[in-house]
Amino acid sequence: MNFLHVFYKEMTEQWRTYRLLIVVAVMVVFGLASPLLAKLTPELLKSIPDLPPGLADAIPVPTLSDAVAQYVKNMSQFGILLALLVSMGSVAQERERGTAAIMLTHPVSRLNFILSKFFALAVTFTISLGMAALGCWYYTLLLFKAMPWGAFLALNGLMLLVFLVYVAVSVLCSTLANSQGVAAGLAFGALVVIAGVSSLPRIGEYFPGQLFGWGAALLLGGANTAWPAFWVSIGLIIIALWGAWQVLNRQEL
Amino acid sequence: MIQIKDLTKQYGAVRAIDNLNMTVEPGSIFGFLGPNGSGKTTTLRILTGLAKPTAGSAHVAGVNVSQDAHNLPAHIGYLPEEPTFYSCMTPRESLEYIGRLHGLPSSERIARIKELLMLVGLTEAGKRRIGGFSRGMRQRLGLATALVHRPQVLLLDEPVSALDPAGRKAVLELIEQLSGQCTILMSTHILADVERVCNVVGIISRGRIIVQSPREELLNSYVQPIFELDSADIPAIQRLAELLKKQTWIASVNIEGQTARIAVNNVAQARAELLAAAMAQHIVLRRYEEMRPSLEDVFLKLVETGSVQ
């Protein structure tokens, strides 16, 4: 029951510190800009004066798949970056300020302390990605054509799962670190390690990055699936949160 | 209510608490005195379950703090030295949040919040964001949050260190009012505060309790009676000092400016003979006073000698 009180406090904090608004604003900007950029980039290129003859004709006409590719590219970069930036201070900041020590002398279990932070961040990213997706869908409809709802929803669901992997890993880093600076270093280190391992042949197929490709394929009609990466992502979230709980249990505040 | 047995806390090579043994009886206001770095805060952190002991055991309200730390919050209220809160919340919201965590029913919660805000003088600031609060206001709010659920044991770490004289007086009066309602363990290095509100005193030095006793017993047992004489005639005061040093009932004589501070071994004899000795030297006295022993004298004496009782 206390989880709901702590979660409500976390959501209040997300709202009052403008964290929720900032994440929504950034995501919505990239959601709206993706189809717009896909549509306008070729037009902008064609408008360059003194373009060599024939080159303007060689620039392909933008299609729905360009809009989707742009959306996936933007979200895979900025969504992950936001996930790290917003989550990396979650525990370290409370420990540094001393609020964690006060709160944990009240009936708040250390598990609820970690889970409430993760779920509040999960809600923040769900709302933000949902609004970005709505904007993207509408602009794509205006500039190209309607995307199938089911597949677009699946793409966003898979992207959300990737963001939550990075949120969970950042919460773990924040619990391990004794200051926000160290937490930031650890979180970016984790990002580099995951990106590095994901680029390796064979092993990379099991890492969250594959979910972007799977989502795009669902929307554009490809046959790719990435079930191993899906289950590994869920596993990573569980392991990161369990690890954060175990670390916090052993820590003195 | 609080029982500490052979408690030890080691940080690397540093032993912050060294085989500490201490008992706090129910209903008492226990003054936990010690110089900076003596282990007061570490002891309190262990009693709240925020730190784990290296060895030994501690029980608060019957709960073993090492093994059943999750059962502690219902029984304790804790005020750290520098209490911090969520700056985006108001005092009212903070107390509401803590009240909900402790499962207080809505009607009781509302009444309790109103009562506590009034008690700590934050009624007017009740709807202001905590972010703009002074340290003194945060300390008063900290006390209120520690009291929301009417804990059996109140653990206060330097509760008045950040307060102005008026705030200090108000909080000390509040602590006095709580006497009998709950057991209070209050760490401080401000001796006057302990003398004022605490009925039992424990002095800690280098992680060890060097004495634990009811306040009056402590004052009576450990303080050497002191007499003070003031005179503008400094040579006469010095002559008197030389004479007194030869007496067996005199422990020591110190002269500071125009004041002779005389420690005695035998109070009755001093009362009978000291003034007469001064008169015999034809000293014109401005002041002759038998000093009330202070906790400061006990504290300095015990901490300097480090004697264990």
Q: Is B154 on the interface with A (CB under 8 A)?
A: no
Beta carbons of B293 and B225 less than 8 angstroms apart: yes
Residue B112 φ then ψ, to 5°: -65, -40
Cα–Cα dist B186/B305, whole Å: 24
The model's pTM:
0.85
Amino acid at B221: S
What would the pLDDT profile of B104-130 be if each residue is shown by its tens digit?
999 999 999 999 999 888 998 888 999
Characterize A41-58 residue by residue with b for buried, 16 or more Cβ atoms within 10 angstroms of its Cβ, and e for exposed: eeeeeeeeeeeeeeeeee
Most confident of A117-121, B62-66, B120-124, B212-216: A117-121
The nearest CA of chain B is from the CA of A186 a distance in Å of: 25
Query: Could you report the per-residue pLDDT of A62-105, keeping only the tens digit for each?
Result: 888 899 999 999 999 999 999 999 999 999 999 999 999 999 99
Sequence-ordered list of residues with C-beta below 8 angstroms from that of B84, at least 6 positions apart, any chain = A97, A98, A99, A102, B138
At B271-298, the pLDDT tens digits run 888 888 888 888 888 898 887 666 776 7
For the cut 60, the answer to whether the pLDDT of residue B308 exceeds it is: no
Distance of residue A245 Cα from the nearest chain B Cα, in angstroms: 14
- Indicate the DSSP class of residue B179: B
Contact between B97 and A9 using a beta-carbon 8 Å cutoff: yes
Is A5:B97 a contact under the CB 8 Å cutoff? yes
pLDDT tens digits, one per residue of B7-31: 999 998 899 999 999 999 998 999 9
Residue given tokens 């107390």 in the structure block:
B95
Instruction: Tell me whether A199 touches chain B (CB under 8 Å).
Output: no
Q: Does A248 touch chain B (CB under 8 A)?
A: no
Residues of chain B with Cβ-Cβ distance to A98 below 8 Å are 80, 82-84
Task: Tell me how far apart the alpha carbons of residues B142 and B82 are, in angstroms, rounded to a whole number.
Answer: 9
Q: Chain-wide mean pLDDT for chain B?
A: 88
CA dist list (Å): A41 to A48, A149, A216, B85, B184: 11, 26, 20, 49, 71
Output the CA angle A248-A122-A111, nearest 5 degrees: 25
- Determine how β-strand B200-205 pairs with β-strand B183-188: unpaired
Q: For residue B227, what are the β-bridge partners? A: B262, B290
Contact criterion met (CB below 8 Å) for A155 and A216: yes
Q: Which of residues 59-88 of B touch A (CB under 8 A)?
A: 70, 72-74, 76, 78, 80, 82-86, 88
Q: Could you give the 3-state DSSP secondary structure of residue A100?
A: helix
Question: For residue B309, what pLDDT is reported?
Answer: 43
How far B72 CA sits from the closest chain A CA (Å)? 8
Nearest C-alpha of chain A: how many angstroms from B35? 22
Instruction: Count how many residues are written for chain A.
Output: 253
pLDDT number for residue B307: 52
Six token digits for residue B76: 């304790």
Length of chain B: 309
Q: Residue holding tokens 């044991």?
A: B153
Count of H-run helices and E-run strands, chain B = 10, 14
d(CA A241, CA A252): 19
| Distance from C-alpha of A7 to C-alpha of A16, rounded to nearest angstrom | 14
